[in-house]
């Protein structure tokens, strides 16, 4: 593995860092407090090419590689993991799926505005009774001439309230099980599509998460992605790349926790010297750094494999598993190092812990990642 970044990768990382420090960080605390969606920030990210980073120039994207994408999401999530996940869902789930399986018609109509930040996308797979067991979709799409009529309910939809476009899985042929699932691209303004309850979450509070009701939603057959019955495969393959995005988001939270802990340990004095001189603190700092470094290498390896056209299923799941563990561990240790100050809003580390936990849950729980990893190992 060689991670000497190219000049282009470094300049993308630095641009993301500058933007995060200057445009995202100043309002992050306030937005978390008020659960406020970062609309203007997302629009600016779109203008800079960060909402369709890996989409080709032909379809309005920035034509960057996955390694650059990881570097950018980490920098942005260091300052606001909510912005990180909004970006990740739009980039590695919605834009990726549309570019890979969409017709030119769908790409022209939806991918171009999604990749340039003029529209926002949401990925709708989970249902009240189909989370980890994603094959158990109940949402049904019944053909009626040149349309489908969709009825059902989706939940845990990141970007669901603010999205313009929904990338949605529904059963077109129940008798075929998961081979009867299809993916639809649905416009927000379609009649019968109802944005439901906005969740009041523990963390990533300035990103929105909601339920989505579908009551006789009429969608043109030309809005099916790929072919009928390909939906489960599309969702799984899309999630492989999505997991790299969430892993990068987790790396950002872990790195932010680490930096806050080191800074505080050098300022805070106890027993006549900075607490960074205490071995109990040094062990924590070393453990955090080892956690982050190990996770980052695995995540970058997954990204590099994807860029090189190699298999990255196992690597993406390993990266997400390790980086999400690092995020939770580092946030916890950062609080421990801050003592009581870590437990109050005055310091940032309490938000890092609240934001970190979801990285072990969405886009496949840690337990699902282990299933994916084990199956890949056993089949090879």
CB of 369 to ligand CAA, least distance (A): 9
Q: Of 11-19, 279-287, 319-327, 367-375, which segment contacts ligand CAA by CB under 6 A?
A: 367-375
CB of 297 to ligand CAA, least distance (A): 21
Count of other CB atoms within 10 angstroms of residue 177: 13
* H or E element at residue 29: helix 25-34
Distance CA 156, CA 187 (A): 18
52 versus 231: smaller Cβ distance to ligand CAA: 231
Q: Does 87 bind ligand CAA (CB under 6 A)?
A: no
Q: Of 180-188, 199-207, 262-270, 360-368, which segment contacts ligand CAA by CB under 6 A?
A: 360-368
Distance CA 176, CA 59 (A): 34
CB of 236 to ligand CAA, least distance (A): 4
Letter string b/e over residues 221-238, b meaning 16 or more CB atoms within 10 A of that residue's CB: eebbbbebbbbbebbbbb
Count of other CB atoms within 10 angstroms of residue 273: 9
CB of 302 to ligand CAA, least distance (A): 12
The per-residue DSSP string of 333-354 comes to: HHHHHHGGGGGSTTSTHHHHHH
350 versus 363: smaller Cβ distance to ligand CAA: 363
> What is the x/- site pattern for ligand CAA, positions 275-304, by CB under 6 A?
------------------------------
CB of 357 to ligand CAA, least distance (A): 14
Q: Does 311 bind ligand CAA (CB under 6 A)?
A: no
Q: At what angle do helices 349-356 and 81-88 cross, to 10 degrees?
A: 30
CA angle 221, 226, 231 (to 5 degrees): 90
Query: In the range 230-249, which residues lie near ligand CAA by CB under 6 A?
Result: 232-233, 236-237, 239-240
Structure tokens at 167: 């990338």
Among residues 23, 227, 363, 376, the one annotated as catalytic is 363
Yes or no: say if 253 and 290 are a contact pair by the CB < 8 Å rule: no
Q: Does 216 bind ligand CAA (CB under 6 A)?
A: no
CB of 244 to ligand CAA, least distance (A): 12
Q: Does 364 bind ligand CAA (CB under 6 A)?
A: yes
Q: Does 170 bind ligand CAA (CB under 6 A)?
A: no
Residue 199 bears catalytic tag:
no
50 versus 156: smaller Cβ distance to ligand CAA: 156
Q: What SS3 state is found at 55?
A: coil
How far are the Cα atoms of 12, 276, 358 from residue 54, in angstroms, in the given order? 12, 41, 24
What residues make contact with ligand CAA under the rule CB under 6 A?
89, 123, 125-126, 132, 134-135, 156-158, 178, 232-233, 236-237, 239-240, 313, 362-364, 368, 371-372
| Active-site amino acid positions | 363
């Amino acid at each position: 593995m060689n991670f000497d970044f190219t000049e282009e990768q470094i300049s993308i990382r630095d641009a993301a860092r500058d933007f995060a420090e200057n445009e995202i960080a100043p309002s992050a605390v306030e937005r978390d407090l008020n659960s406020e969606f970062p609309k203007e920030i997302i629009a600016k990210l779109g203008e800079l090419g960060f909402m369709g980073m890996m989409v080709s120039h032909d379809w309005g994207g920035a034509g960057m590689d996955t390694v650059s994408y990881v570097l950018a999401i980490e920098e942005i999530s260091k300052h606001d993991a909510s912005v990180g996940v909004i970006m990740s869902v739009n980039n590695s789930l919605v834009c990726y799926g549309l570019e890979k399986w969409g017709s030119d018609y769908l790409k022209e109509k939806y991918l171009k505005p999604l990749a340039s930040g003029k529209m926002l996308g949401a990925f709708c797979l989970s249902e009240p009774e189909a989370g980890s067991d994603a094959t158990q979709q109940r949402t049904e799409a019944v053909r009626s001439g040149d349309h489908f009529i969709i009825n059902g309910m989706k939940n845990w939809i990141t970007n669901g309230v603010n999205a313009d476009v929904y990338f949605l899985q529904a059963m077109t042929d129940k008798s075929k099980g998961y081979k009867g699932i299809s993916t639809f691209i649905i416009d927000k303004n379609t009649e019968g599509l109802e944005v439901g309850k906005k969740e009041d979450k523990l963390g990533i509070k300035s990103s929105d998460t909601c339920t989505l009701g579908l009551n006789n939603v009429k969608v043109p057959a030309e809005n099916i992605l790929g072919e009928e019955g390909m939906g489960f495969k599309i969702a799984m393959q899309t999630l492989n790349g999505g997991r790299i995005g969430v892993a990068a988001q987790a790396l950002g939270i872990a790195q932010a926790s680490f930096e806050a802990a080191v800074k505080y340990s050098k300022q805070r004095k106890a027993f006549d010297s900075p607490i960074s001189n205490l071995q109990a603190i040094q062990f924590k700092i070393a453990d955090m750094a080892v956690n982050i470094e190990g996770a980052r290498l695995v995540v970058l390896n997954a990204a590099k494999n994807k860029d090189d056209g190699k298999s990255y299923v196992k690597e993406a799941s390993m990266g997400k598993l390790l980086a999400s563990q690092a995020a939770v561990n580092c946030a916890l240790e950062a609080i421990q190092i801050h003592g009581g100050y870590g437990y109050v809003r005055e310091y940032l580390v309490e938000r890092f812990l609240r934001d970190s936990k979801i990285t072990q849950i969405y886009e496949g729980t840690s337990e699902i990642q282990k299933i994916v990893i084990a199956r890949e190992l056993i089949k090879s």
